[in-house]
Amino acid sequence: MSDVGDLRALFRVILDEVQTNPDFAARIRSVLRPAGTSPIPRKPHRRAHAVLDPFAIYAEDDGQLTAKLHELNVEQLKDIISEYGMDSSQLSRKWKSADRLVDLIVRMVEARAHKGDAFRG
């Protein structure tokens, strides 16, 4: 049997024992995560999910995008920019003007919608 096959067999035995023996599972957990330590904390998502998909709205009717965006508040607009990666420099995080944020979103959606048009027939 190869080394890889031996390891697979060993881990299958360990997994079976962990699933059937709670004491063994607790001992394994204590070795992998010693008492008093917690798992590595994950960074929380800083922004909420976008309330609408600007690309879908633009695909349906490009004239409606600006109107729908103007119905949202500044935080909702920033959520859209964040979720769709529209500002890699993250300068828009400091902006307080909804009009400025709407303009950025519209420009980015239009640019991405027409990207590659030069190569289409």
Kindly list the domain boundaries of the chain, sorted by start residue.
3-32, 54-119
Q: Which of 104, 115, 111 is nearest to 66 (CA)?
A: 104
Letter string b/e over residues 52-89, b meaning 16 or more CB atoms within 10 A of that residue's CB = eebeebbeeeeeebeeebeebeeebbbbbbbbbebbee
At 79, which amino acid appears?
A: D
- 27 HSE (CA, 13 A, CB side): 8
pTM of the predicted model, to two decimals? 0.62
Q: Which of 22, 72, 75, 74 is nearest to 48 (CA)?
A: 75
Per-residue pLDDT of the chain (121 residues; tens, 9 = 90+): 578 888 999 989 999 998 999 999 888 888 887 666 666 666 676 788 999 999 999 999 988 999 999 999 999 999 999 999 999 999 999 999 999 999 999 999 999 999 988 888 7
Sign, Cα dihedral of 26, 32, 37, 43: negative
